[in-house]
């Protein structure tokens, strides 16, 4: 019985070591720093998850068509260390975003600066929260 269990454990370890591990990517691998975006829209969803937080926003083009954009942020840990709160950006907020679009030209981008109508800004490095 011990021999069967030992072989089963050894086989499981061997298989586990042969599987690829998920890897973190650099921003340059996914986003094109030459494809700058300037968007204004309404936040529809916020995902406060690792390895990167994301928020989604509806953006109207000049023709009135609405496109939903996926905007990537830093990890929640980095955002919190730089002054963000979990509700610094929330569904229903109208915001302007500057950043870098994905290399595949999809509605996916890395958010650099998020600006609110009252002028306060959020970036990876700081959260200029509005005065209360």
Cβ atoms < 10 Å from Cβ of 97: 23
- Does residue 107 lie within any of the structural domains? yes
Residue 10: the pLDDT is 54
- Does residue 39 lie within any of the structural domains? yes
- Does residue 7 lie within any of the structural domains? no
Q: Which residue has the tokens 């996916």?
A: 108
Partners of 66 in the beta sheet?
A: 60
Partners of 102 in the beta sheet?
A: 31
- Does residue 70 lie within any of the structural domains? yes
- Does residue 6 lie within any of the structural domains? no
The CB-side HSE value for 15 (13 A sphere, CA atoms) comes to: 6
- Does residue 45 lie within any of the structural domains? yes
- Give the CATH number of the domain where residue 88 resides: 2.40.50.140
pTM recorded for the entire structure: 0.74
User: 57 — phi, psi (to 5°)?
Assistant: -145, 145
- Does residue 79 lie within any of the structural domains? yes
| pLDDT, one tens digit for every residue, the chain (132 residues) | 665 555 655 555 444 555 444 444 555 557 888 999 999 999 999 999 999 999 999 999 889 999 999 999 999 999 999 999 999 999 999 999 999 999 998 999 999 999 999 999 999 776 766 655
Residue 132: the pLDDT is 53
Contact 112, 74 (CB under 8 A): no
- Does residue 2 lie within any of the structural domains? no
Host domain of residue 116: 27-123
User: How many domains, the chain?
Assistant: 1
Shortest CA distance to 53 belongs to which of 34, 29, 70? 70
Please, which residues have CB within 8 angstroms of residue 60's CB and are 6 or more apart in sequence?
41, 66
């Amino acid at each position: 019985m011990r021999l069967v269990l030992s072989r089963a454990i050894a086989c499981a370890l061997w298989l586990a070591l042969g599987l690829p591990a998920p890897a973190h990517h650099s921003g340059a691998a996914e986003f094109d720093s030459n494809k700058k975006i300037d968007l204004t829209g309404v936040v529809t969803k916020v995902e406060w998850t690792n390895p990167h937080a994301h928020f989604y926003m509806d953006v109207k083009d000049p023709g009135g068509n609405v496109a939903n954009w996926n905007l990537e942020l830093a990890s929640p840990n980095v955002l919190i260390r730089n002054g963000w709160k979990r509700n610094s950006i929330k569904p229903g907020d109208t915001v302007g975003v500057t950043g870098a679009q994905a290399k595949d030209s999809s509605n996916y981008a890395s958010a650099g600066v998020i600006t609110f109508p009252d002028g306060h800004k959020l970036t990876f490095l700081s959260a200029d929260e509005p005065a209360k």
